[in-house]
Chain A
Amino acid sequence: MAEKEEYEKVKDTGHNWDGITELDNPPPRWWLNALYLSGLLVLVYFILYPSLPLVNDSTKGLLGWTQIREYKQDFAAIEQRRAPYEEKFAQMSITEVLEDPEMLNYIRASSKVLYGDNCAACHGIGGQPPQAGTYPVLADDDWLYGGTIDDIMMSIANGRIGQMPAHDGALTEQEVTDLTQFVIDSANSLPNEAGRILYDQYGCAMCHGDDAKGDKYAGSADLTDKIWRFSDTEEQIRRTILHGVNDGFDPQTRLAVMPQWSEKMAIKLEIKADVINAGEKVEEINWKDELNGNESERLSESDIKKLAIYVHQLGGGE
């Protein structure tokens, strides 16, 4: 646009259609040069970034950039942001964490991923398994092995294997029916004298307790509440009574196994509890004597601590 010459003075390409001539107006020189120069940017990339594939490797580029390095740097940056929380968390007792809303929010947010990776497959994303009766619900207030954070921590660290013997053959058909009715009545807070006699006679109270409210040390279910570990239908209750839970001699037994996530932590928790019960100081424990170093550890102690708090917050922690 710079010069507006008379068109007659402009060179034409020699093409002429019906009297319309095609003029030869080249783009401005500076514009053309800028176009060529922009092409040279390729060279800049060539020098700065990995570019030429070689036999086993490639040229490195002056910046030394690689995708995995960038990922690692970003990851390190996240870790760095988390570090102050993680360090603080490691020093805090569980009660302190529960009283610190900011820390609690951090734990809730960061444990969501941990829970999703390790727990949600069985227990469901929000602490309720997709299919009722398959795995224990973590969002309610009914706990087989206790619902305090310490109890939950132990359950995660050591894993749990429920035990209920099969009674197939030990009970008559009528006795099974009576016991089933007793369990149903207990849940609805109705008295059932005949069932109660059988309950005592066959030693159910040994695990489920005199009050039938279960025992967290045995991991036995509370029979008086409205929550059913497996099912509330008569047929399924019969099955539990007849075939038990995790009874190795009964092929029809119910399977209920929580894997162990840290043998090391389980041992430590147990020793700590013993030491505290004996009135001694936890600081004086010589861990080298107590642990042989071969204990399995699928999750770190801090992860288990986080998960225990997370699960405790799901809806019904004690």
Chain B
Amino acid sequence: MSESGQQNQKQADNIYQQTADWQLNTGDIKIVAKRLLGRFRSLKWLAMLTWLPFFLGPYIRWNGQQAILFDIPNRQYHFFDLTVYPQDLWMLALTLVFFAILLAAVTSVAGRIFCGYFCFQTVWADIFTLIEGKCEGQTPSQASKFNSTPWTLNKLLRKTVKHSLWLLIALLTGLSFTAWFTDAFQLWHDYLTLEAALPAWIALAVFTTGTYVLAGFMREQVCLWLCPYARIQGVMVDQDTILPHYDQAQGEPRAKLRKSAIKEDKGSCIDCNLCVAVCPTGIDIRQGQQLGCITCGLCIDACDDVMTKTNQPTGLIRYASHKEIHHDAKPVQLYKRPRVMVYITIMLLALTGVVSGVTGLSPAEFNVLHERQPLFVRLSDGTIQNKYTLKLLNKTQQNMFVTIDISGLAGATLHQVKMTEIEPGKVLPLTVFVRLPEARLESEITSITFIANMNGEIDNNLTYQSMFLAPKL
């Protein structure tokens, strides 16, 4: 081998050695995180409560029907008094934009706190591991001892209880999800009498299995290898983002505590490994911010606890930005961070759009289609007749009385249907004729406005501008 060949070989070795150094948790070790009390643990519980509406929401009633209902078969979305039809779907798009940018904004300010506190994977896995801990032991050693002992009645009982509780939660999750799309009480009835529709069973099965497998067995593996948001959020973090950081300057060189005496040349880290033991994804935060970190702050709780016990200042691991830790910089004001300001602007725009959309939601949709073939017809007295199809969609919950009128074309008269009743949620096509005597013709194309008045209320009008066509003069 030549000298350059040897050099190449050396470089290749380096690459392989680097990859070998990566701390990769691929599920070969089951993570049993220790549960400790603390500030961020309490915060996590509070954050988890935001999922309660997911379970309880479908049971809120409003005017005799489900308050919030995504009625897919009827293509309607009910939100209390509001009914949104596919025509207004742009508002959903804006809402999604708002939340997508909210995720980006929050991540650039405070890192993956969505992952750590709010994500369903984190929340459900936390509940599932709580149950597992109660049944099989709270610490890794207890758990492994429990699992390696031979099968006894006690072990069987504990395993059964664990899986039953898991399945129960999974079932409730599936049912609650499905209940947003169909009447919740009717759904319970249908499930219990085994009469539910096939889509309802499929939704229940998919969500139950999904919850059971993802929260029960895959846990942190989902965050590490499955979830795209984890990776997307990773790139939104910059040096001003507040993340759990291990303060190396304060902690190193780490050493075990001997007889509670702290040596002068030693850092505050006593290498107790508690920060690793409590981590739900099983990483060591002392190696720096890494892809496994969901920024939940449980290691901070653990470390602060230890620091207090060993009479050392807390905050060895703390929420801080890269600049604060490594360059002793002060936190940057939000308005001095262009990226965050751009995010906030987009969010405000989207929010304005949704709010104006919701407040300006019209009770009906009104369209006028001019007949294309023939464009006009000459009647026996020479009058020119145009035909129009009016389409009216009643977006309210009550029957709607609509009166049609025209304006803007002098001498024109409206024929056939002038008043009609439309059932809620229905579209009614109406054929009408507009006639204009030959003597009143002024040009080949004249604009004409159709006015649909709803329920006889003054000013409750929808207008649509169309054309009146005539032969060449």
Interface residues of A (CB under 8 A from B): 1-4, 6-7, 18-20, 101, 105, 108, 124-128, 137, 139-142, 222, 225-227, 313, 315-316
- Determine which of A1, A101, A225, A315 lies in contact with B24 in the assembled complex, contact meaning CB atoms within 8 Å: A1
Expressed in whole angstroms, the Cα–Cα distance for A301 and B361 within the complex equals 47
**Given A18-B8, A19-B1, A101-B420, also A139-B374 (CB < 8 A):** yes
Q: Which residue of A lies closest to B9 (CB)?
A: A19
- Determine which of B5, B8, B20, B385 lies in contact with A140 in the assembled complex, contact meaning CB atoms within 8 Å: B385
Interchain residue pairs A-B with the least CB separation, the first 9: A225-B380, A128-B374, A126-B373, A19-B9, A226-B382, A19-B8, A7-B16, A19-B5, A142-B380
Q: Are B373 and A316 interface neighbours, CB within 8 A?
A: no
Within 8 Å CB of A105, what residues of B?
428-429
Within 8 Å CB of B371, what residues of A?
126
Q: How far is the CB of A212 from chain B (nearest CB, A)?
A: 13
Q: How far is the CB of B399 from chain A (nearest CB, A)?
A: 14
Within 8 Å CB of B205, what residues of A?
none
Q: How far is the CB of A221 from chain B (nearest CB, A)?
A: 11
Expressed in whole angstroms, the Cα–Cα distance for A141 and B429 within the complex equals 23
Within 416-432 of B, Cβ neighbours of A (below 8 Å) are at: 420, 428-429, 431
Expressed in whole angstroms, the Cα–Cα distance for A70 and B267 within the complex equals 77
Q: Are B374 and A127 interface neighbours, CB within 8 A?
A: yes
Residue of A19, A124, A126, A128 with most partner-chain B CB within 10 A = A19
Q: Are B8 and A226 interface neighbours, CB within 8 A?
A: no
Expressed in whole angstroms, the Cα–Cα distance for A255 and B20 within the complex equals 94
**Given A2-B26, A124-B374, A126-B373, also A20-B379 (CB < 8 A):** no
Q: How far is the CB of A312 from chain B (nearest CB, A)?
A: 12
Asked whether B433 is an interface residue with its Cβ less than 8 Å from the other chain, the reply is yes
Known: A18-B5, A315-B433. 14 other contacts (CB 8 A): A1-B24, A2-B26, A2-B28, A6-B20, A19-B6, A19-B8, A20-B8, A20-B12, A225-B380, A226-B380, A226-B382, A227-B378, A227-B379, A315-B387
Q: Are A222 and B380 interface neighbours, CB within 8 A?
A: yes
Asked whether B19 is an interface residue with its Cβ less than 8 Å from the other chain, the reply is yes
Within 8 Å CB of A137, what residues of B?
374, 377
Can you give 20 A-B contacts (C-beta < 8 A)? Answer: A2-B26, A3-B28, A4-B19, A18-B5, A19-B9, A19-B12, A101-B420, A101-B428, A105-B429, A126-B372, A127-B377, A128-B373, A128-B374, A137-B374, A137-B377, A139-B385, A142-B379, A226-B378, A226-B382, A316-B379
Expressed in whole angstroms, the Cα–Cα distance for A139 and B382 within the complex equals 14
Binary interface profile of B, 157-176, with partner A (CB < 8 Å = 1, else 0)?
Answer: 00000000000000000000
Q: How far is the CB of B246 from chain A (nearest CB, A)?
A: 24
Q: Which residue of B lies closest to A143 (CB)?
A: B380
Asked whether B264 is an interface residue with its Cβ less than 8 Å from the other chain, the reply is no
Within 359-380 of B, Cβ neighbours of A (below 8 Å) are at: 371-374, 377-380
Asked whether B328 is an interface residue with its Cβ less than 8 Å from the other chain, the reply is no
Expressed in whole angstroms, the Cα–Cα distance for A125 and B19 within the complex equals 72
